[in-house]
Amino acid sequence: MAYLIVKALLSGVIIMAVSEIAKRSPALGALVVSLPLVSILAILWLWNDTGDSERIASHAEATFWYVLPSLPMFLVLPMLLRHGTGFWLALATSCALTFVLYLATVWIAARFGVSL
């Protein structure tokens, strides 16, 4: 149980730190959040929990494919906000687009023999 609490606290501290950095400098906050810290933590936790190299390799490869459809969100959200769309609607629209792109990625990847 203590292990789960440590994992949750460390993950939460990273999110809190990024939000505090972004309040002072949006560009620096963006740089920090773009680092694959969560992925590295997940890989470390997965290694600690399983020691399974193949599982980690599969996780890292799937992460690559899932990052691609999430990227348009970071262009659509600012575009909508700068064109007067309310925050919550812009965020919901961006998330919905990302969800649709995730589905498309899984479908397209399967057609090329990539299992996600």
Q: Write out the residue range of the structural domain in which residue 100 sits.
A: 53-116
pTM over 0.85: no
Task: Encode the chain (116 residues) as per-residue pLDDT tens digits.
Answer: 888 898 889 888 888 998 999 999 988 988 888 888 888 988 999 999 999 999 999 999 999 999 999 999 999 999 999 999 999 999 999 999 999 999 999 999 999 998 88
> Is residue 27, in this structure, part of any structural domain at all?
no
CA pair distance 13, 101, nearest whole angstrom = 30
Q: Which of 74, 77, 67, 78 is nearest to 102 (CA)?
A: 67
CA pair distance 2, 83, nearest whole angstrom = 47
CA pair distance 51, 37, nearest whole angstrom = 19
- Do the Cβ atoms of 46 and 59 come closer than 8 Å? yes
> Is residue 43, in this structure, part of any structural domain at all?
no
CA pair distance 49, 55, nearest whole angstrom = 11
Domain count, the chain: 1
> Is residue 65, in this structure, part of any structural domain at all?
yes
